[in-house]
Structure 1
Amino acid sequence: MHNATQEELKSRAKQNEISSGEEELLSDSGDECDPENYNFYMSQIDFTALANGIGQDDQKGQEINLRERVSTQQLRQEVNQVNQHISGNHQNITSVPNPIKLLVSKQKRRYNYNGFNLDLTYITEKIIAMGFPAENIESIYRNSMQDVRRFFDSVHPGHYKVYNLCEERKYDHSNFNQVAEFPFQDHQAPTFSLIYEFCLDLDNWLKTHEKNVAGIHCKAGKGRTGVMICCYMLYAKQFTNAYDSMRYYGMIRTKNKKGVTIPSQIRYIFYFEKALNNKWVPDNMPNKQVELVKIRLIPVPNVKFFGGCAPWFRIQNKDKEYNSKNQFPVKEYKLEPYIEFKLKDIILQGDVLLQFLNQGIWSRSEKLFQAWFNCDFFDYTGVLMIDKFMLDKACKDKSGKTFQKDFRIELHVVEVNQDNKSLQSVYNNTINQITHKNFGF
């Protein structure tokens, strides 16, 4: 079988002559979203506004975060130290990889020592991020299960544990020394409790023996893997803030510094930082119950041929699902300044997935955007405003064809009292009184 080179695949893709299998290779972006505005964690944003945006309204807390931020130069030094340690302790025997594997791994840094060439990166001396260890035909373009097993057995014999974050794919645990599963869906955020469980398990494993290492993977070994590794680096106090943890991960895992790029996943790393600062653990989380009373989309997205859209939404919260079609008929919006849904009897708690869709011709719907959030992190205003660049999928609209640059959504809630007998308003109806722009963390 002839293995097409990267150039051949790209050329044939442009001519629409690629096979279905090759098309999967080209479209396999793993967890990548690539937001239009990447400055928010590449050191080109007002960090005070960002801190306020995650509900950290305490000025002292903001000053601490500002003071403890690590410079880009310091992060580069840490990256170089890890890479120098690896190059100094691993044999410099390189291997030429299959060009299709290079195409699939894209901008991710590969391990090219000891005769291996794998989609695998040492994030620290003990934490390894890698692509999925595949078998059969999939091993042609991903890491081969056999090669990954040989790598761990030869480089870290008896002292490695593999963490599978994929919900959609499993393998026989006997392939490795030890395996743990902390699954969540591709392109989604993990539940908050799953992050804690992962960090506890990983921390216990690494502290059991000084030689222990962990290999962590999802499908592409970048997004979901990055969320959990960034959170663990916060948990282990390698970094004091989410901002630096993500910047470091992006630098060491990828060539273009784009590590965790899906907005909801980024939001949850900031959540985890705040939870650690508040000394929250799963047993003492606030467990707020809130009633969602209003959603606004500002301004109206342009999806239809002549502009406007016909939006509807669904909400997933634990084992409950809410569909707006059950309460409102789908209608078209075009010239209105914004779209507003006034809601009732939607009680939310914990992790929430909000998805907006547009109903097209023949009642077919396409996803407009989505956002994960956790009710415990609503601040005192009771309004969560999420800008375009922090909305999954909408962030990819670089041209502004569908979503204008200033597009945002507003989620208005009231907090349910513990006795569930009354509701207490926790938001200020005058949005203009909010001093800083809320980035939806």
Structure 2
Amino acid sequence: MSAAGNGPPPADTALAARLFDELAEKTADRRGVTRTAYGAGEQFAHDLVRDAGTAVGLSARTDAGGNLYLTLPGTDETGRAIIVGSHLDSVPMGGNFDGAAGVLAGLAVAAGWKKAGYALRDDLVVMALRAEESTWFPVSYPGSKLALGLLPPETLDLTRADSGRTLADHMAELGFDPETVRAGTPQVDPASVRAYVELHIEQGPVLIAEDAPVGVVTGIRGSRRYREARVLGQYAHSGAVPRAYRADALIGAADLVMRLQADWLALEAEGRDMTFTVGMFSTDPAEHAFSKIAGEVRLAIDIRSHEEETLERMLGLVHRRFAEVEAAHGVTVDPGPLTGSTPAEMDATLRAAFGAAQQSLGLPSFSMASGAGHDAATFAGAGIPSAMLFVRNQNGSHNPDEAMEMVDFEAAVAVLAEGLARLS
């Protein structure tokens, strides 16, 4: 049965609900869940999804880097695929829905359609991507990049934050083929991918404020990041050294942050889209003391925008502020390596299809941009038409208190299925 007719059959959201529960139980941490990239938690999640997919009759394969593909064949043997994907890793002590919601949504659609004997003209591929959360390895989107043959080979030598071992080591330990990945061999032919669609929980409060269960994403912010910046001064006695003779790293770092905060406010006043965050800020516990002037402060700088011009402009201001702070406080700023990603626009045709699906299901028509990064940015950057759906979610993400309600998930999955059917 093709996608023509009165719309697709219902997705198997009961299957998704059971898998959410099992993920929460089996990857639980002290609070929330931890599914370490290329670690036990992520691997458990991949095995769970693979077993569930094959149990309902989907074919499964795993690529050289560990990405999982579950396929419901199309009716017309077009040689093309529509991929519905997301990731299964989490941040340390994170929530159960970030990433997993997208994979289980795709699986719910494919499982429901398989049981009903329903298919698109193109293959429907549910893709579980690896290592999207860059808290583990200091690189954006390694799973989707390696799938498309876009991962720089030196990435395999980056070390995981908790183990200190390389990405290549962790891949090999799980039975994957890091040398094929290092060679840049594509695991997916971009020319064969008709579209990439990713469902994800919203990571902020917009859908809650708008009283909308589902949002169609317009674009994804890019980033510029200094993850390992340091302000270096001179340790000294807190009572014996007058201010004029100090090289206080903490004062220099605090001044740097406030100068950059002022730059953010100025760019916002111009109407530019941007966020600036210092998510880590600390003195060295091995050397700091109550009665010592701080000689070192470590901080992370995270800049995001939908506008490449704004990212570059703010990056220039960051470098200018480094020099000003050094001159004002007698300190040295060592920014460490620069990482980041490119902004990505979602495909207008796909956005229209999912917007029409919202309307046909009687849901509010609502579109919004994504402030966080997602694997959809990699696919869009490779020239593959890409789309995202957001699901309403309480309490944000990257924390144990994520609270997506299943009624909202079911609404989003219905939009996903209806939108996919409109592409056939």
TM-score category, normalised to shorter length: under 0.3
TM-score (norm 2): 0.23
Q: Which has the bigger relative contact order, CA under 8 A and spacing at least 6?
A: 2
